[in-house]
Amino acid sequence: MAPMHIVIWVVEGTWEGCVDAARRHFPSDSRFTLLHVTPLEVAEAADAATAGLFGRGFPGRKPHRRYDDIADEEASSLLAAAAARVGHPDAEVLSRRGRVEREVIHAVADGVDVLVVARDGDHARLGPKSLGHATRFVVDHAPCAVLLVWPDETPGIESIPTPKHGPPPPPPPHEWRG
C-alpha cells in the first residue's frame, strides 16, 4: 500500500497545531506537503497604502523592496519552521499566491488523502463561528478527507450557546403507505 499523502495548511498563528496533529494521527511513512497561501489582498492593500502615502504620481518614491518579496520571505520562514517541526526531511513545501480558499482546494485536488486544517475563528467556544470564511469554504469543498483541529486548547462542552427559542420541534410523523 502506498504511503498516505497528507497536506498541512500552514497559516500563521495556527500551523503548529496542524503539524502536531498530523504527526500524532498519521503514520511516519506518510508523504507530507506543507502548504502556505499568500492572499492577493495583502499586496494590493500595501500598494494602495503606499500610493496613498506617497501619491500615485511619484512612482520613484515607492519603497525599493516590493511587498511580494517580503510576503515570499515570510511564507518561506513559516514553511521552514513547519518543515522543521514536522520532522520529515523529505517534506515538500508548497507556496502559492491567490484567493486563499481556492488555492487550497486546487492544491489538494489530485492525489491527496487528507488535508489538515486548523480552526481560525472564535477559539473560546464550540460551534460554527470557530471557522473563518476561507476555512469554512475549504472544509465544505475539499475533495479529500479533512482533519479539522483546534490550534490550542479545545473549549469545553459548556461553551455551546443555549438555544434562544428552546429546542427545535420534533419532525412530523412518517406514515408508511405501501
Q: How many domains is the chain partitioned into structurally?
A: 1
Q: What is the pLDDT along the chain (178 residues), one digit of tens a residue?
A: 789 999 999 999 999 999 999 999 999 899 999 999 999 876 566 666 666 665 655 555 555 457 778 888 999 999 999 999 999 889 999 999 999 999 999 999 999 999 999 999 998 989 888 999 999 999 999 999 999 999 999 999 999 877 777 777 788 887 666 5
Quick check: is 29 in a domain? yes
**Alpha-carbon span 26 to 30, nearest angstrom:** 7
What one-character DSSP code corresponds to residue 123?
S
Quick check: is 171 in a domain? no
**Alpha-carbon span 130 to 135, nearest angstrom:** 10
Q: What is the CA radius of gyration of the chain?
A: 21
Quick check: is 173 in a domain? no
Quick check: is 147 in a domain? yes
**Alpha-carbon span 153 to 159, nearest angstrom:** 13
Quick check: is 172 in a domain? no
Query: What domain range includes position 124?
Result: 5-159
Quick check: is 164 in a domain? no
Q: Report the CATH number that the domain containing residue 37 is assigned in CATH.
A: 3.40.50.620
Q: What are phi and psi of 42, to 5 degrees?
A: -65, -50
